[in-house]
């Protein structure tokens, strides 16, 4: 039910209510307003400019790490999981969602710069196991990999990190739009993270984004609203 508060979910709900209202003669006049609201919501949040305006403050809150050697104090590379399938019919890398794949690539980039660091993957069991297997296959030695698979949320991952990293600084790898919430959760645990954003969705400036509606832009708007609501929820629950 949480999807209902996202732009696409709210538009879908309004559309369904509009159809139901149209089927009821007494509410037929109201149905046009509900259907118009659904269409307007979809049109506005499907614009690349709207999506970029929402996502840009999240994605560009922290600078990109171009060379891990600029942070010699970091001792670990912590990767938050995205999503992965556990399907032996798929190639190993093909089981990763786009966000998980980008996070893997960023972790490998950092490991190439800093082979003295170990790599910690934290999240749900299936995705942690799959991302760990991809990292190992792409060259990270097994003894350098640490898999923490008991965490189902970002806040839980942050809470599980102290026994793994202690007080040592570490690179925190996740999608750029998710990073502000992840950093807030980590800082709540008094850990010392170097933010390492990846998986940027849209241009920094909204004026450079595509103005016309597209499914991709609607998805980015959903992601941005999800992060803002998630950050608010963490604050209310004392997790960030």
Residues 18 and 122 in one domain: no
Residues 94 and 164 in one domain: yes
Task: Kindly provide the residue ranges of all beta strands, DSSP E only, lying in 84-233, ordered along the sequence.
Answer: 118-122, 145-148, 170-175, 193-198
**C-beta neighbour count of 203 within 10 angstroms:** 17
**Helix (H/G/I), strand (E/B), else coil: 173:** strand
* 105 inside domain: yes
How many structural domains compose the chain?
2
pTM listed for this prediction: 0.92
- Answer whether residue 1 shows pLDDT above 70: no
State residue 74's pLDDT score. 97
Residue of 240, 235, 226, 152 lying closest to 193 (CA atoms): 240
* 114 inside domain: yes
Distance CA 59, CA 24 (A): 45
Find the range with the poorest average confidence among 44-58, 120-134, 142-156, 198-212: 198-212
Residue-wise pLDDT for 17-43, tens only, equals: 999 999 988 888 899 999 999 999 999
Residue 221 belongs to domain spanning:
2-58+210-236
């Amino acid at each position: 039910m949480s999807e209902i508060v996202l732009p696409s979910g709210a538009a879908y709900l309004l559309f369904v209510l509009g159809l139901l209202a149209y089927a009821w003669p007494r509410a037929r006049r109201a149905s046009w307003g509900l259907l118009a609201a659904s269409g307007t919501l979809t049109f506005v949040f499907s614009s690349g400019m709207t999506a970029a305006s929402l996502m840009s403050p999240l994605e560009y809150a922290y600078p990109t790490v171009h060379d891990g050697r600029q942070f010699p104090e970091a001792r670990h590379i912590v990767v938050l999981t995205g999503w992965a399938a556990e399907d032996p019919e798929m190639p190993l890398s093909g089981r990763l969602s786009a966000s998980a794949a980008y996070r893997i690539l960023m972790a490998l980039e950092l490991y190439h710069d800093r082979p003295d660091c170990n790599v910690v993957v934290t999240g749900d069991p299936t995705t942690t196991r799959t991302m760990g297997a991809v990292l190992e296959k792409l060259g990270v030695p097994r003894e350098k990999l640490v898999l923490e698979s008991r965490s189902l949320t970002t806040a839980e991952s942050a809470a599980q990190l102290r026994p793994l990293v202690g007080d040592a600084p570490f690179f925190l790898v996740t999608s750029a739009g998710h990073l502000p919430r992840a950093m807030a959760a980590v800082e709540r645990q008094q850990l010392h993270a170097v933010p390492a954003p990846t998986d940027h969705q849209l241009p920094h400036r909204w004026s450079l984004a595509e103005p016309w509606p597209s499914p991709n832009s609607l998805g980015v708007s959903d992601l941005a609203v999800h992060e803002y609501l998630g950050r608010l929820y963490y604050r209310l629950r004392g997790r960030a």
